[in-house]
């Protein structure tokens, strides 16, 4: 309003000056000149006032017609990308129309997920689907030991030895098929030794299939020799090296009611007791070298002959048949035991103690787990034993790996 009055005043002043300059005013009649100026100013004022009123009304209409502009969003050429950007993405959302290649891939994934990860929810539930807890963080203490025993030279001399316990401490984060683990060898760290034992492990599990692969190498490990021929005691033996790798894959027949992952991966929750027959395949490579030339003369005297280099190097292929059972003895408590012997074909290498031969393969895998679940927290005690038994007319040798672990975790 103040701006309007100021504009009117300026226009009137300019008009008065212009009109005064244009009107001829006689010197002898000043009142007549003043009257003519006032009439002219009045006419100009009325015209300007009308025009300003129209301009104000038009300005008010324009102000009311202006709509606030929202922040700009990325615009994609394809509707499915707009849908994902605006409403989020879920791989199980079938209402999104993808391009043909992506559509085939997502359909295949959804089909496999339904086929391989279906459970009867009265027996097994998936925390990731029921409460959205798809990730886990765990603190772990993993302890493992190697054991070796057998007979040398036509089964004449019995030998037995075991390694020290390797104790690992660390944490693990896993979820949605991904996992990161960091562990330190606490025993060697406190003793100021270098870690010479290496271990890599991989596992994949669904409701129907369980796959596990491993690689282990013990280089210049010291062991405790407990038995050699007629001698029995406890002596340090530093002449053993071992390298092994392999995998197991088996099918879980009662997969709708029984979950192997609930006991050993903690990604599922077993509500009711159930068991299942297990059957599958395995392959492994074992290379164990015992250099008896490192023995003291007193112990070397108990060897059955002059042979000091015993090497058991072979590969196995075969089938495994076993059974796993999970006992839910109280709400939130689970006890599992799994026993799976395996049989098949064994091929020994030319540099093995018996040379190149075809033998019967006999191995054993056994597991045990005690799991406590309380809300999003879980605690577990697990044990695993893996043994390989080599037998021939001249020798027998059993090398095994045993693992004992304590775990405390949280789902989020």
SS3 300: helix
In this structure, the answer to whether residues 244 and 146 fall within a common structural domain is yes
What is the pTM for the complete model shown? 0.73
In this structure, the answer to whether residues 85 and 130 fall within a common structural domain is no
Taking 80 as the threshold, does the pLDDT of residue 49 lie above it? no
In this structure, the answer to whether residues 389 and 243 fall within a common structural domain is yes
With respect to residue 85, please indicate whether it lies within any of the assigned structural domains.
yes
Query: In terms of residue numbers, what domain contains 104?
Result: 79-116
In this structure, the answer to whether residues 96 and 224 fall within a common structural domain is no
With respect to residue 61, please indicate whether it lies within any of the assigned structural domains.
no
In this structure, the answer to whether residues 87 and 173 fall within a common structural domain is no
The CB-based long-range contact list for 300-309 (8 Å cut-off, 24+ gap) reads: 302/157, 302/228, 302/229, 302/230, 302/231, 303/152, 303/157, 303/228, 303/229, 304/152, 304/153, 304/154, 304/156, 304/157, 304/229, 305/153, 307/152, 307/153
**CATH label of the domain that carries residue 325:** 2.40.128
Quick one: average pLDDT of 343-352? 96
pLDDT at 21: 43
Tally of domains within the chain: 2
235-292 pLDDT per residue, tens:
999 889 999 999 999 999 999 999 999 999 898 999 999 999 999 999 999 999 999 9
In this structure, the answer to whether residues 269 and 366 fall within a common structural domain is yes
In this structure, the answer to whether residues 191 and 89 fall within a common structural domain is no
In this structure, the answer to whether residues 270 and 394 fall within a common structural domain is yes
Taking 80 as the threshold, does the pLDDT of residue 58 lie above it? no
The pLDDT-based confidence of 80 (bands split at 50, 70, 90) is confident
184-217 pLDDT per residue, tens:
877 666 555 555 667 788 888 889 999 999 999 8
Choose between 14 and 167: higher pLDDT: 167
Taking 50 as the threshold, does the pLDDT of residue 23 lie above it? no
Quick one: average pLDDT of 134-149? 91
pLDDT at 352: 94
In this structure, the answer to whether residues 93 and 129 fall within a common structural domain is no
Last residue of a domain, one of 116, 139, 172: 116
In this structure, the answer to whether residues 250 and 333 fall within a common structural domain is yes
With respect to residue 11, please indicate whether it lies within any of the assigned structural domains.
no
Percentage of the chain lying above the pLDDT 70 cut: 75
pLDDT at 188: 64
With respect to residue 101, please indicate whether it lies within any of the assigned structural domains.
yes
With respect to residue 7, please indicate whether it lies within any of the assigned structural domains.
no
Last residue of a domain, one of 87, 116, 145: 116
Taking 90 as the threshold, does the pLDDT of residue 147 lie above it? yes
In this structure, the answer to whether residues 225 and 328 fall within a common structural domain is yes
Q: What whole-number distance in Å separates Cα of residue 88 and Cα of residue 196?
A: 48
In this structure, the answer to whether residues 187 and 298 fall within a common structural domain is yes
Q: What whole-number distance in Å separates Cα of residue 248 and Cα of residue 278?
A: 11
């Amino acid at each position: 309003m103040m701006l309007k009055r100021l504009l009117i005043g300026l226009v009137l002043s300019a008009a008065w000056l212009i009109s005064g300059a244009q009107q001829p005013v006689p010197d002898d009649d000043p009142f007549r000149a003043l009257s003519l100026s006032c009439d002219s100013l009045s006419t100009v004022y009325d015209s300007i006032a009308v025009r300003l009123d129209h301009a104000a009304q038009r300005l008010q209409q324009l102000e009311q017609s202006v709509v606030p502009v929202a922040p700009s969003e990325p615009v994609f050429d394809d509707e499915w990308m707009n849908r994902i950007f605006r409403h989020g993405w879920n791989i199980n959302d079938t209402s999104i129309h993808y391009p043909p290649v992506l559509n085939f891939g997502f359909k295949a994934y959804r089909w496999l997920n339904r086929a391989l990860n279906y459970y009867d929810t009265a027996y097994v539930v998936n925390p990731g689907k029921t409460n959205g807890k798809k990730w886990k963080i765990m603190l772990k203490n993993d302890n493992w030991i190697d054991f070796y025993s057998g007979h040398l030279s036509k089964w004449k001399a019995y030998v037995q030895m075991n390694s020290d316990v390797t104790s690992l401490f660390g944490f693990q984060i896993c979820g949605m098929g991904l996992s990161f683990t960091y562990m330190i060898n606490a025993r060697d760290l406190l003793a100021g030794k270098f870690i010479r034992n290496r271990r890599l492990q991989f596992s994949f599990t669904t409701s129907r299939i369980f796959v596990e692969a491993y690689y282990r190498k013990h280089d210049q490990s010291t062991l405790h020799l407990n038995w050699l021929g007629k001698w029995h005691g406890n002596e340090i033996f530093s002449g053993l090296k071992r390298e092994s790798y392999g995998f197991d894959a088996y099918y879980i027949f009662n997969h709708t009611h029984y979950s192997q992952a609930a006991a050993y991966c903690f990604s599922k929750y077993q509500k009711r007791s159930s068991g299942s027959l297990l059957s599958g395949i395995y392959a492994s490579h074992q290379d164990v070298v015992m250099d008896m030339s490192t023995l003291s003369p007193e112990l070397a005297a108990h060897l059955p002959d002059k042979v000091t280099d015993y090497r058991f190097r072979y590969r196995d292929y075969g089938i495994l048949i076993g059974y796993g059972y999970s006992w839910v003895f109280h709400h939130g408590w689970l006890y599992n035991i799994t026993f799976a012997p395996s049989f098949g074909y064994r091929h020994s290498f030319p540099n093995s103690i018996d040379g190149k031969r075809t033998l019967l393969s006999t191995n054993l895998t056994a597991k045990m787990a005690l799991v406590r679940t309380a809300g999003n927290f879980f605690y577990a005690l697990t044990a695993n034993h893996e043994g390989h038994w080599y037998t021939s007319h001249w020798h027998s040798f059993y090398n095994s790996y045993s693992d004992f672990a304590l775990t405390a975790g949280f789902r989020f």
